[in-house]
Chain A
Amino acid sequence: MWCKVGDKMAEDTQMLKGILEGCILKIIKENETYGYEICEKLINSGFKDVGEGSVYPILIRLEKKKLIFSKIMDSPFGPKRKYYYLTEQGKEALNDFTILWDEIKNKVDNILK
């Protein structure tokens, strides 16, 4: 129950968007990937309620911020598919996110102990 309430709360906050952006940057850094795969990885990591619905607009935003770039290639299903890669700016942003996340996590952990 608490998990559900927590998920619901997080869903509505800007914080989740920020966290998702960081996680997506990390997923893209590991390998060239595309929207559906990113979404699958997020779901498999525990972000159960994250559908393409929230991931796709984030990818557009990250591309506009020039944190990622894309190449359009053929998809095995027929249409064109965008594969994403991290830019230098994206690598820096991921680094900043990791540091910030560690700080927040430590602070919250200290309070919750």
Chain B
Amino acid sequence: MENFILVLRDFLTFVLIINLEYINDIIFSLNTFKFIKIRNKASKELHYEYRFCFEESEKYLKASDISSYEREEALQDILDMLLEAQSLKTPIGNIFGDNDENFLKNIVEEYKKPKNILYKTLLPIQQFITTTLFIIAIMIIIMSIYGKSIIYGFNNAISYESLVLLFIYFFIMKRYRTKYDMKKPFHTQTELKKQMTKDWFIVMFFTLIMAWLFYYIFETILHISVLSSLPLYEYKLYLLFLIIASIFIEIYIKKYSKSSNF
């Protein structure tokens, strides 16, 4: 039974890890939920080539390091522009110019221009903290359900081992998404999907190697057991610190990137 719980824990961690990027999107969409709802509804009105351009813009802006407010602001405008162009039968080129990629690049650059180092540092940290908290919350809920019937399960909700893996994966995945969504917009879907599948395995493999190296250095060479079965559930103060830090960062980012009425 003990083994079953451990296997279940690792399996859930793995499932959550591979879905991390989507979880991240969901969490950061909560801030601008109303606008996303409008965007999703209105984007269905776009016809094929206009929709393709919009979806590429969505991917590109999601991968960029502008805040969720700025991203939503830009996406609403791009969508409105494309819908108007479609109704007037204006060609895509008239909107995006000669270089589609340049158009998006210019938008991101303009949003990024006056930002200070603190903002640039805080944004990925906040993304990581929030995602981690979300995953921990899910893990604790799931494991507490099992824990009621299986005594062993609860205290092994999530260990540092899983967190380190999450941490490594998060930053590798972020780089990976930036690479594909920002550097190759407007490529054909098939070409992109093929490349993404191939690279996903490379990223996963690299993550596991990194995690193993980390584990090997600390546990085997240095004999420091920072990674072994320390249940994060017991670290209430650490979790509280993460929550408070995340709230403060969110307030700062919101204040910094919020424009007029958004």
Contact = CB atoms under 8 A, between A and B. Distances in A.
B220 to A, nearest CB: 52
A56 B41 CA distance: 23
B95 A57 contact: no
Contacts of A35: 77, 80-81
Instruction: Say whether chain A's binding surface is mostly helix, strand, loop, or mixed.
Output: mixed
A22 B136 CA distance: 52
Contacts of A81: 76-77, 80
Instruction: Say whether chain B's binding surface is mostly helix, strand, loop, or mixed.
Output: helix
B112 to A, nearest CB: 10
Given A71-B260, A80-B76, A82-B77, A53 B42 contact: no
A77 B82 CA distance: 10
A89 interface: no
A52 B45 contact: no
Interface string B67-111: 000000110111111011101000001111111001100110111
Q: How large is the interface on A (under 10, 10 to 19, 20 to 34, 35 or more residues)?
A: 20 to 34
Nearest to A37: B84
**Most-contacted residue by chain A among B73, B78, B81 (CB, 10 A):** B81
Given A36-B81, A53-B99, A60 B110 contact: yes
Interface string A62-85: 011000011110010111111000
Contact of B110 (A36, A53, A57, A80): A57
Given A54-B97, A61-B110, A78-B45, A36 B39 contact: no
Contacts of A75: 80, 83-84
A53 B111 contact: no
A79 B38 contact: yes
A46 B259 CA distance: 32
B259 to A, nearest CB: 6
Interface residues of B, number: 38
A48 B96 CA distance: 14
A53 B97 contact: yes
Contacts of B103: 51-53, 56
A35 B45 CA distance: 20
B104 to A, nearest CB: 9
B197 interface: no
**Most-contacted residue by chain A among B42, B80, B87, B96 (CB, 10 A):** B80
A52 B106 contact: no
Contact of A51 (B78, B79, B95, B259): B95
Given A56-B77, A56-B107, A51 B42 contact: no
A72 B262 contact: yes
Closest A-B pairs by Cβ, 9 of them: A53-B97, A78-B42, A77-B83, A57-B106, A53-B103, A60-B110, A51-B97, A80-B76, A57-B110
29 contacts: A34-B80, A36-B84, A51-B95, A51-B103, A52-B96, A54-B97, A54-B106, A56-B81, A56-B107, A57-B107, A60-B107, A61-B110, A61-B113, A63-B259, A64-B113, A70-B261, A71-B261, A72-B261, A75-B84, A77-B42, A78-B38, A78-B79, A78-B83, A79-B79, A79-B83, A80-B80, A81-B76, A82-B73, A82-B76
